[in-house]
Amino acid sequence: MITRPVSKEEIIAALEQLPLERWAEVSEFIEFLRFRDNLPRPKRATLPLALGLLATGQPPPSEAEIERWLEERRIEKYA
- Return per-residue pLDDT of the chain as tens, 79 residues: 667 888 889 888 888 888 888 888 888 888 887 777 676 667 778 888 787 777 788 888 899 999 999 999 999 988 7
Count of Cβ atoms closer than 10 Å to residue 34 Cβ: 13
pLDDT at position 61: 87
Q: Collapsing DSSP states into helix, strand and coil, what is residue 19?
A: coil
pTM: 0.35
